[in-house]
Amino acid sequence: MTTLTAHDVALTYRNGVDALRSVSIELHDHELVAVVGPNGAGKSTLIDVLGGVRAPDAGRVEFDGVSLVSLSAKARARSLAHVPQNLDSIPAVSVERFVFAGRYAHVSRWRGATDIDREAVVAALAAADVTHLAARQLSELSGGQRQRVLIARALAQQAPMLLVDEPTAALDPRHQLAVFELLSTLVLERGRGVLVVTHDLNLAAQFAQRIVLMDDGTIVGSGSVDEMLRLEVLEPVYGPRLHVGRVDGVPVVLPWRSLEDSHE
């Protein structure tokens, strides 16, 4: 079993904001964990720290018991893949070339790419259902296509764990569902461990095995969908204007303006 663990990690930004205060969390293979919480709760910072992209001020992050700090950048990238919310700039490359960047941690500087690398790219393109886009320029793609390509690049890294930051932020409902179905397939059929940061409680409800609720740099609760998506748990964090119902037995959370509010 593969495990990613954070022990009491804390991180303060230079402007004095405590992004994380003593956060502990575990992620295993074969599970999809959704990290939810209001804006500024520290979710994206947690992804950076778990992925080793940013070092915490205190505490430690371990992959299978080995501290991330002691791993080389390439060794870390072979264990943990990161799907960013967006890129600083869209490079002028084809989808295939872009996905090939996921092989950076595997390719030897002097021997160059091997058949194993090429096969990994082909497999990643197929798994994310973007094989038909391989020859297209990255800049030509729609938001939904680009999100799948970002996931394909992370899959090419062949890391057992994926850290996914807000994958559905700019997508229409159909593509939101498609992205979560893809992530879920990776967990159920390929045994990956996936940690996804999302604002969408309802997608989390349908796909996550576990929900972690964050607020103000700390984890305020963690548990199954049924345990977490209850008014008593959500209201202290999101405020009172919520409605929790059920569709097909799965909790549904809606921002809800009650009748009393509308008469004020």
Binding site for another protein (CB under 8 A): 48, 51-54, 72-78, 81-82, 84, 87-93, 101-102, 104-105, 109, 157
Residue with the two structure tokens 């008469």: 263
Burial 80-116, CB ≥16 within 10 A → b, else e: bbbbbbeeeeeeeebbbebbbebbebbeeeeeeeeee
* Closest CB 15 distance from another protein, rounded Å: 15
- Residue number with CB closer to another protein (74 or 241): 74
Q: What is the rounded distance in angstroms from the CA atom of residue 84 to the CA atom of residue 166? A: 8
Nearer to another protein, 102 or 217 (CB): 102
**Please, which residue, 74 or 257, has the CB nearer to another protein?**
74
Of the pair 84, 251, the CB lying nearest another protein is at 84
Shortest Å distance, C-beta 183 to another protein: 17
Please, what is the minimum distance in Å from the beta carbon of residue 73 to another protein?
Answer: 4
Q: Least distance (Å) from another protein to the CB of residue 153? A: 8
CB of 6 to another protein, least distance (A): 17
Nearest distance, CB of residue 141 and another protein, angstroms: 14
| Contact yes or no for 82/54 (Cβ under 8 A) | no
Please identify, using beta-carbon distances, which residue of 77 and 229 lies nearer to another protein: 77
- Compare residues 17 and 73 and give the one whose CB is closer to another protein: 73
Question: Distance between CA atoms of 182 and 195, rounded to whole angstroms?
Answer: 13
Of 101 and 231, which CB lies nearer to another protein in the complex structure?
101
CB of 52 vs another protein, minimal distance in Å: 8
Structural Rg of the chain based on CA atoms: 19
The residues, ordered by sequence, that sit 6+ positions from 136 with a Cβ below 8 Å of its Cβ are 94, 95
Look at residues 184, 117, 172 and name the one whose alpha carbon lies nearest to residue 145.
172
